[in-house]
Amino acid sequence: MSQLGGRCCPILGGGPAVNGPRRAEIHPQSRRQLAHFRSPRLWRAMASREPFKGKATQNQWEKLFLDCTRRYTSDLSIFGKTPVRFFCSISSSRVQDNRFVRHSSEGETELPSYTWPDNQVLLVDQSDQFVFKPMLYELLSGEVDDWEIAPSFTDLLKNTSVQFVKDRVKFIRPLDHLNHIEMGELGRSCSGGLVHLESGIIIEYDWSLPQCSRLVLALGAEAKLDVVPGSAEYAFPFLTLEDARKVNSKLTTLERQRFGKDSPPIHVAIVGCGYSGVELAATISERLEDRGIIQAINVETTICPNAPPGNREAALRVLQSRKTQLFLGYFVSCIKEVSASEDSVGMTRIGEEMSIDAKNHRNKFILELQPAQRGLESQILEADIVLWTVGCKPVIPHLDPFDQSNTFPLNGRGQAETDETLRVRGHPRIFAIGDSAALRDSSGKLLPATAQVAFQQADFAGWNLWAAINDRPLLPFRFQKLGEMMTLGRNDAAISPSFIESLTLEGPLGHAARKIAYLLRLPTDEHRIKVGISWLTKSVVDSVASLQSTVTKVISGS
């Protein structure tokens, strides 16, 4: 995912002072640099590591904490997106001279420097825009503009040494499996692998080289549309910026066609009632109001089955208030386009007769629903647009077809199996995060492929890349669930923080909290400031317009 590569760029580090006669003192050159030393999440993870064995436990822990206060950079080289999605390769960047000292009874001594080697940073992606996917729904409601959640890489990187190249990955050739590592130790091989781009560029990565290059798989997921007949041909996925633009364009076209009061309503079918399907249903139902009929289909007997109860109940109330039709306990068996020769009179939807003028409405679709639960009957739905939110598949970049020894350990979902330090098993020089990584928690349960998990993995991957360069201990990934959020409209959302049990923020308060949380997740300080000012201005304008409308109604009523 593009936003996952973006989240890899800031490497978080730093550490607390060690109690006792010794402490680490850091002298950053600016307040902004000081922020790079602070990452409570990483320090909590370090604290959860197994204690050192032997008598020197305290001294070893103290040394580890002190050494972790070294300054490192936040610039990396990322190679994103294969022809089907993306992957990332991360290399090092420049460092600045910071002063590190240790105070002890013997006086002040300067600590050794652990840095990123000085090297050019390169970002390669098949798209020229960074996309913040959690806010794609706001494009449909008109709350945000494209530039706010999809800024160009050129704008984001203009004040950095990072170079951006728009290209696509053809295939990769990793050479770091065990036999190559053994050869490298004997001095017969020093290459970690090769990245072949479609433009013909070949990139070599290996941390034994002066460049200290790294390879990180940060692939996104693509919609799994070939599930039922007709889904790939007629359904719209909703995963990328291009998908959101297509859906918005289709809705705009339908709104213009059905502008008159006597026009038939717009039928929108949404397959899947997980978070994505429910957020789409809430957003589109608010946008169309009485001009549309939203039909949401889910194989489960409830919406958002894995969501906190507070979020699920808030979403149900919103959907019911907007007269969204829920078909729970059903799965779609087929999607067909209505042809001019097809006579659809007499097909039934919720006990009502449904007729289609095929000559005038060629772009209507029929969804055949089959019951997934006992006691339900088959249904046939009519729709002007079908949105598909069920099923995603991670994408691993193609391997060199002429090297049969190269393999990635994949699980049943197609994700690369990783160890607790986020390195691909059997490939110690390749890291994987986000949708491309299959990582289990301490209980053995596979971590969900969510943005929250990917954000945290990016922090740990950045740290472990730095640690690998400087021969420091790698941190095991520890996921901390912070809560769950969902949008329910232009001024409505639901948030269930994990640190306060049974608390759910709903309505305008939840909406404001969600936007603030996501504002802080946007890339670069400069972009966050621009977007924050834009959102604040829009909020003021909307408030003034609402006040004027209320005053006008009061005056006209009196």
CA–CA distances in Å: residue 87 to residues 2, 79, 211: 9, 6, 20
Tell whether 472 is covered by a domain: yes
Tell me what pLDDT residue 354 has. 42
Q: Which domain holds residue 178?
A: 122-141+149-221+394-481
- For residue 492, the surrounding DSSP H or E stretch is strand 492-497
Tell whether 168 is covered by a domain: yes
Q: List the CATH number of the domain containing 419.
A: 3.50.50.60
Put residue 375 in one of left, alpha, beta given phi > 0 → left and psi -120 to 50 → alpha: left
Reduce the DSSP state of residue 233 to 3 states and report it: helix
Tell whether 154 is covered by a domain: yes
Tell me what pLDDT residue 398 has. 80
CA angle 371, 375, 376 (to 5 degrees): 35
Tell whether 102 is covered by a domain: no
How many C-beta atoms lie closer than 10 Å to residue 550's C-beta? 10
- Per DSSP, 35 falls in state G
Residues (pLDDT < 70) of the chain are: 1-121, 177-191, 206-213, 339-362, 404-405, 558
CA–CA distances in Å: residue 278 to residues 39, 452, 478, 480: 34, 19, 29, 25
- For residue 280, the surrounding DSSP H or E stretch is helix 275-288
Tell me what pLDDT residue 136 has. 96
Spatial contact of 437 and 217, defined as CB atoms under 8 Å apart:
yes
Spatial contact of 168 and 196, defined as CB atoms under 8 Å apart:
no
Tell whether 23 is covered by a domain: no
How many C-beta atoms lie closer than 10 Å to residue 235's C-beta? 26
CA–CA distances in Å: residue 483 to residues 136, 142, 380, 450, 486: 20, 26, 37, 12, 11
The tokens for 412 are 């049943």
Tell me what pLDDT residue 190 has. 55
Separation between Cα atoms, residue 205 and residue 193, nearest integer Å: 6
Separation between Cα atoms, residue 306 and residue 315, nearest integer Å: 13
Nearest alpha-carbon partner for 1 in 170, 166, 221, 191:
221
Spatial contact of 397 and 172, defined as CB atoms under 8 Å apart:
yes
In the beta sheet, which residues pair with residue 267? 293
Can you point out the beta strands (E) in 473-517? 483-489, 492-497, 505-506
Nearest alpha-carbon partner for 215 in 49, 414, 406:
406
How many C-beta atoms lie closer than 10 Å to residue 126's C-beta? 18
Tell whether 418 is covered by a domain: yes
CA–CA distances in Å: residue 79 to residues 11, 414, 421: 17, 20, 21
Q: 473: buried, middle or exposed (CB in 10 Å: 19+, 13-18, 0-12)?
A: middle
The tokens for 175 are 């050479």
- Enumerate long-range contacts of 54-58, CB under 8 Å, 24 or more apart: none
Tell whether 158 is covered by a domain: yes
Torsions phi, psi of 127, nearest 5? -110, 155
Tell me what pLDDT residue 180 has. 46
Largest CA distance in the chain: 93
Amino acid residing at 328: L
Nearest alpha-carbon partner for 438 in 408, 415, 407, 412:
415
Each residue's pLDDT tens digit, 190-213: 567 888 888 888 887 765 554 446
Spatial contact of 135 and 141, defined as CB atoms under 8 Å apart:
no
Q: What is the DSSP string of 91-114?
A: --------EEEEEETTEEEEPPP-
368: CB partners within 8 A, 6+ apart: 332, 333, 334, 335, 336, 378, 379, 380
Tell whether 303 is covered by a domain: no
Split into its structural domains, the chain has a count of 1
